[in-house]
Amino acid sequence: MIRKAKIGDVKHIHALLAHFAEKNLLLSRSLSELYEHLRDYKVYEKPGTNEVAGVVALSISWENLAEIRSLAVLEDQQFKGIGRRLVEHCLSEAIMLDIYRVFSLTYQPGFFEKLGFKVVDKNVLPHKIWADCVKCPKFPDCDETAVLIEL
């Protein structure tokens, strides 16, 4: 089940993201950032449990542009279509908001390409999105790949 994240999910989301950040598969998020942007997050609950087994965020970046970020699924739940469903949930939400361009900065471009995203040069994205990047320990040597879908 995919649902909007709740306050009680934040520590689980934080642990899930930290786990994958330690493996250099995504960027970590602080607890304060998760609380501040809780409305952006959706979680996948393992059926029959209250366990957060997947997470994703849709963050509005600019007029007609949103970002999918913090996509993570527990290893034992991967390859079951959960990541795809989380991304599709975000794309549906973007359309409901009349946002038709969605991007992600990712270490897994192949996953997004299977969903219709195209690899793009980071320079095609507005400078406003780089405000978060200056807080990143990898700035200015970003090694993520930019992907974009036009809905």
Q: What is the structure's pLDDT at 28?
A: 84
pLDDT at res. 41 = 98
Q: What is the pLDDT of residue 135?
A: 61
Complete domains list, the chain, with CATH: 2-150 (3.40.630.30)
The answer to whether the beta carbons of residues 5 and 38 sit under 8 Å apart is yes
Q: Note the pLDDT of residue 11.
A: 96
In this prediction, residue 128 carries a pLDDT of 54
- Please spell the DSSP secondary structure of 35-67, one letter per residue: HHTGGGEEEEEPTTS--EEEEEEEEEEETTEEE
pTM for the full predicted model: 0.90
Closest CA to 25 of 83, 80, 65, 67: 83
Question: Percentage of the chain surpassing pLDDT 70?
Answer: 89
- By C-alpha distance, which of 46, 51, 50, 94 is closest to 69? 94
Counting as low any pLDDT under 70, the low residues of the chain are: 127-141
